[in-house]
Structure 1
Amino acid sequence: MSVDLLTIQNEYLLVEICPTQGADIRKVARIGRSENLLLETKWEGSEANYCNCDSNDEDHFLSHYAGGWQLMIPNAGFPSVSKYGAVGYHGEAWSNSWSIIKHEGHQLVLETTLRSAPIKIQRKISLNLQTLEVTDIVTNNSDTEIELIWGHHPAFSSLLIDTSTEVQIYASEIAIKIDSHLETAKNSERILDQQVGSFVLRDFMKAPQSFLGFATEFKNGLASIMNKNNQLCVNLRWDSTIFPHAWIWIENKNILKKPWEKNIVTLAIEPCTTKNNMGLEESMKEPNNVLILKSKDSKSATIYLEVLNLPPFLEDFGFSKLVGVDSL
């Protein structure tokens, strides 16, 4: 394991975090298993575990992207500008080196101060039984209010993604953009076999293709990924009053350009303050589409990732039992 990664664990889960680049969560594994539930890119440059931030475009982000789970602040999506200057692709927090405040067996506390906006962030990553809890406190250090985008970018590994995968999104609407070589790309419902708030990846995983969707109007801040072949489920929960949207990205060995080179399989569900990936400047043009923090104010939010082992017989085992809700 790289010396730059720190570990927390309990009797159920082991988690690795990279404080020198973004306080990224690089690994989530069940105890006693050689696995990672999060994507690992392993392409050249992704294991440097630091970022010099000389550039701010998408290629720069990708050259450092190791997979895992990033924090996106003060921007998410395309590079943009704010009243403080340029803000890079997916913001700055993912690239910063974070100070370690506390590191115990089951929890880690870190903090960083941004350069692209007067923002201080304190992050607590902890384990509670089979659940990883990620709490961020975002503070406006300035004397005026600021506008920002705040999002999370957890990308899951192929352990959760194959033809047996079913995804539940507790949203009323998903705006869809598809990039595919298949004729079925013209019909998003056919590709994802979407039924009553959930979709399966049976047909999607049969050929190279990519999917980008933007979910909104959440009944609950909740999404679940169930893989029947590997008898595994993860539930991602968040406060939908802070993150009223979630971006959905699915990649099945479709992107040709470097560093992807048709090697990546992943599914990301990304809770966000903002409904699409156009960047801060464009997002500010629409009402109620960015987070506004008043002078010296702080906002706290926790994301929960629950990891469940599924029973061997799933035919009568619905999502309601997995996520602890009575109905969809």
Structure 2
Amino acid sequence: MVARRNWGARLRETTWDGAPAVVLENERLRVTVCLAGAHVVEFNDKRRDLDLVWLNPNARAPIGAPAGFFDTYPGGWQEVLPNGGAPARYRGAPLDQHAELVGLRWDCAVVADGESEVAVRLSARCVRTPLLVRKVLRLRRGQARLVVEEELVNEAPVAVHAMWGQHLAYGAPFLRPGYRIRLPEGVCVLPHPEPINPPDRAVAAGGPYPWPVVPTPDGGRVDLSVVPDRGAPSDIVYLTEFSAGWYELADPDSAAGVRVEWDASVLPYLWLWHELGASRDHPWWGRAYVVGVEPFSSYPTDGLPGAVDNGSALTLEGGQTRTLAWSIGVIGDG
């Protein structure tokens, strides 16, 4: 039971599309988490009444019988584990797109419920792999920043591989053409080997290329730090060589936007994904204008076996626990 309070930091139990949800709120932010999949379906900058998350036009909470990822993907932000990207089979376990956590009901327990701070602990146990995730979401009074502290546990006595990532997707009304992505110096770009939306792609194969200006397939050059106009080619690239784990996505005029910080020793890659209306078939039907900027343990988006093959998959020994701290907050005055 959460305290009844309408000032300072506060918690509220609610529903989202019929599924249980929890709201963490203070003077600056309102964060809504759908517990079916632990999807963050609202990250609202209350000063501007501006939600930063992208919501899928077909948004649905994953309730009832199992369905494919794109049948219940609400948009928003979610935890990806243990399979990043395309459906795959790992050691006999069939894994859907970005499965398993996105389709599971998460347990929720109140950790703190005071005027100065609220926090909840979310936990979920995978079904087809022996992995358990526990994470605390914390919001302090007066701060426009959500702090997340995570544990990933291998409950089996044998070693297990995993891809672990934060699937952060931004859309309108927050996201607009011309917004800038800022990163630490020294970051490199690894293009995906194949086009995401054949025959279009934004970045030439090959690399690594120094961030942010990289070649295009037609011999030109593109600045990946600038969010493109609607209709630009769909693509995904992988950024690496982070001296520190952080990025900012912001309006170049006002500097208002979002800053994400994470432990780059645990998640050394950043997936940069554009779907800007060029994909005219399933699942987007030309309706998406979304950019994903996603800290990840591994690459590419071909599924866990590919990450095992290239050596980027996480390895958890039998009984091992890995920890991760990260945060996301609003920046600038707007």
Q: Which residue of 2 aligns with 1:24?
A: 39
Q: Which residue of 1 aligns with 2:330?
A: 307
Residue 270 and residue 185 in structure 1: after superposition, are their counterparts in 2 closer, same or farther (change >3 A)? closer
Distance 2:99 2:301 in 1: 12
Distance 1:84 1:102 in 2: 36
Residues 277 and 288, structure 2, Cα contact 8 Å, conserved in 1? yes
Please, what TM-score do these two structures have when normalized by structure 2? 0.81
1:112 to 106, 121, 124: 124
Shift of 1:211: 2.5
Please state whether the residue corresponding to 1:284 is helix, strand or coil.
helix
The reply to whether residue 94 of structure 1 matches residue 102 of structure 2 is: yes
Q: Which residue of 2 aligns with 1:172?
A: 187
Residue 29 and residue 297 in structure 1: after superposition, are their counterparts in 2 closer, same or farther (change >3 A)? same
Distance 1:169 1:180 in 2: 28
The reply to whether residue 295 of structure 1 matches residue 308 of structure 2 is: no
Cα distance per residue 1:22-69 (max 9 Å; x no partner): 2111110122543310001131xx223426325xxxxx2111111111
Residue 232 and residue 140 in structure 1: after superposition, are their counterparts in 2 closer, same or farther (change >3 A)? same
Residues 164 and 229, structure 1, Cα contact 8 Å, conserved in 2? no
Distance 1:181 1:282 in 2: 23
Shift of 1:274: 0.6
Please state whether the residue corresponding to 1:5 is helix, strand or coil.
strand
Cα distance per residue 1:196-247 (max 9 Å; x no partner): xxx223xx21544322111111121111101146752211111111001111
Q: Which residue of 2 aligns with 1:8?
A: 24
Shift of 1:13: 0.8
- If each structure's helix is expressed as a fraction of its own residues, which one has the higher value? 1
Moved over 3 A (4+): 177-192, 228-231
Residues 31 and 43, structure 2, Cα contact 8 Å, conserved in 1? yes
Q: Which runs of 5+ in 2 are unaligned?
A: 1-14, 205-214
Please, what TM-score do these two structures have when normalized by structure 1? 0.82
Residue 104 and residue 257 in structure 1: after superposition, are their counterparts in 2 closer, same or farther (change >3 A)? farther
Q: Which residue of 2 aligns with 1:133?
A: 147
Residues 83 and 98, structure 2, Cα contact 8 Å, conserved in 1? yes
**Higher deviation after alignment, 80-89 or 145-154:** 80-89
The reply to whether residue 145 of structure 1 matches residue 159 of structure 2 is: yes
Between the two proteins, what is the percent identity of the paired residues? 19
**Higher deviation after alignment, 63-72 or 122-131:** 122-131
Distance 1:32 1:111 in 2: 31
Residues 230 and 277, structure 2, Cα contact 8 Å, conserved in 1? no
Residues 43 and 51, structure 2, Cα contact 8 Å, conserved in 1? yes
1:193 to 197, 210, 223: 223
Count of matched residue pairs: 296
Q: Which runs of 5+ in 1 are unaligned?
A: 55-59, 312-328
